[in-house]
Amino acid sequence: MKLVTAEGCHLIDDSGKKYVDFTSGGIFAGTLGAHSPILRDALNTDIQCCYGAYDNHYAERYKDMLREWTGFEAVALFSTGSEATEAAWRACRTYTQRYGVWGGMPDPDTVGESEPENPYDAMHGWTLGAQIMAGKLSWGMAFEGLSQGTFMAREDACSMMILEPYHGPSAQWYDGKLIEHVKGNIKEFPDIYVCFDEIQAGFGRTGKKFGYEWYHGIKPDLITVGKAMGGGYPLAALLGPKELIQQPEANLHSTHSGHPVMCSVGIAVLDQMQKQGLVEQSYRKGMLLAELLKDCGVRHHAGRGLLAGLEFKNAKQASKVVKLCRDRGLLVVDTGRKWVKLGPPLIIDDDLLSEGVEILKLAIGRVIVEEGEKDG
C-alpha cells in the first residue's frame, strides 16, 4: 500500500482505494486529520527567514501559547520526540550533576511473571539515550553502578525518573499498585526530577490535555511532547521549570529548534484545538468509542479518550485482523504483538467513528470464525 493523497480522516492509495484512518497518520500525529487546509495555510505563511537557529516571532509566539496552555514555566523546542526526551535527561543531569536515570516501566501483561519477556517495556524514542531511559539498553554497560532500567540502589547518582502515562503498545493504563510505587519514589526522593513522556498521550489524545492528569496526586516537573502538537509535521518540545530549561550549560537546542515554519504549524494546531474544543471532544468521542467496542469479540480492550487497545489471542491473530481491516478500507495500528491500537484524528465525527468500528467488528468476527473452523 502506497498512500498518495488524503483528506480529513481518509487516506487514499495509488490504486485509488480510500481508507478510514484510525491511526492519525501512522502513530497518532495527525491531530487535525490529513491535508488540513488550516495547516496548509500555516505552511504557506509569508515567512521571510527560514532559520530556526535565531530568535523569531513565530517561535516566541508559540512558546507563549504553550506556556499559557500547559501551565509550565519554560519551553525548549525540537523536531522529534527523541530529541525532547534526550533533552529532558540532559537538562536534569546538567543541573544536578547526577548522571543516572530511572525508567523502564513494565509491560502490564507480564507483571507477576517470574521471568517476563518484556520486564522493561517503555518507549521514549530510538536514540541511545532514549533507549536507555526506556530500560531497553543498560546504562550500566557503559557506566557501572548507574541505571539498569529499574530504580537504582544508588539514588544519589540519579537526576530524573521518566515514564509514559500508559503502556505504549497496548494502551493499558498502569494499575493503582504500580502508580502508588511511583508516588512512593517521588516522595522518598524529592531531589530527583519527574518527567512524563507525553509524546503519544499529550495534546488531547486521552480526553485530557495530558495523560498524567488521569493520575491523582502526580504533577511532573517536566513533560516531553511531540506528534500531535505538530499535526503530522516534525515538532516536539520539552516543558518544565526555568531552572532546568533555561540553563545555558544544558544547550537545549538543535539546528531546527524553533523553526518558524514548524512553529507556524504548531500555532495553528493549538489554536484549532482550543477553538474546536478538541480535548473535550476527545473525551466525549472516547466514551462513544468505548461503547461501540463493547462485545466486539476481543479478549479485552483498554484506553481512554480517542485511544484504544484491543487484545487478541496472540500476535498472529492481531495481524490478521489488521490486514483484513486494511482490505476492507480501515487503517489500524499493528503493534507486532497481541494488541491492535486505535487512534483516529481528534476531528473525526461520530458517524465515521461508528463506520470504522463496524468495519473492525466485521474483521474481528471473520478472523474468529476462520480460526474456529480450522480448530474444528
Q: Which domains does the chain carry?
A: 3-35+277-375 (3.90.1150.10), 40-275 (3.40.640.10)
CA-only gyration radius of the chain, Å: 21
pLDDT at 322: 97
For cell 504549524, name the residue: 265
Beta strand pairing status for 222-225 and 18-21?
unpaired
Confidence (pTM) = 0.91
Q: How far apart are CA 265 and CA 29, in angstroms?
A: 13
Strand ranges (DSSP E) for the chain? 3-7, 10-13, 18-21, 74-78, 100-102, 158-163, 166-167, 172-173, 193-197, 222-225, 236-240, 300-302, 308-311, 330-331, 333-334, 339-342
* Each residue's pLDDT tens digit, 2-12: 888 988 999 99
Strand ranges (DSSP E) for 165-220? 166-167, 172-173, 193-197
The sign one gets for the Cα dihedral 5, 35, 230, 284 is negative
pLDDT at 104: 75
Q: How far apart are CA 85 and CA 162, in angstroms?
A: 9
| In 114-175, alpha helices (H) | 128-133
Taking alpha carbons only, the member of 120, 312, 87 closest to residue 197 is 87
Residues forming a β-bridge with 193? 160
pLDDT at 113: 58
Give 325's Cβ-side CA count (13 Å radius).
Answer: 26
3-state secondary structure of 25: helix
Mark the ranges of the chain whose per-residue pLDDT is less than 70: 48-54, 110-119, 137-154, 373-376
Phi, psi (degrees; rounded to nearest 5) at 21: -95, 105
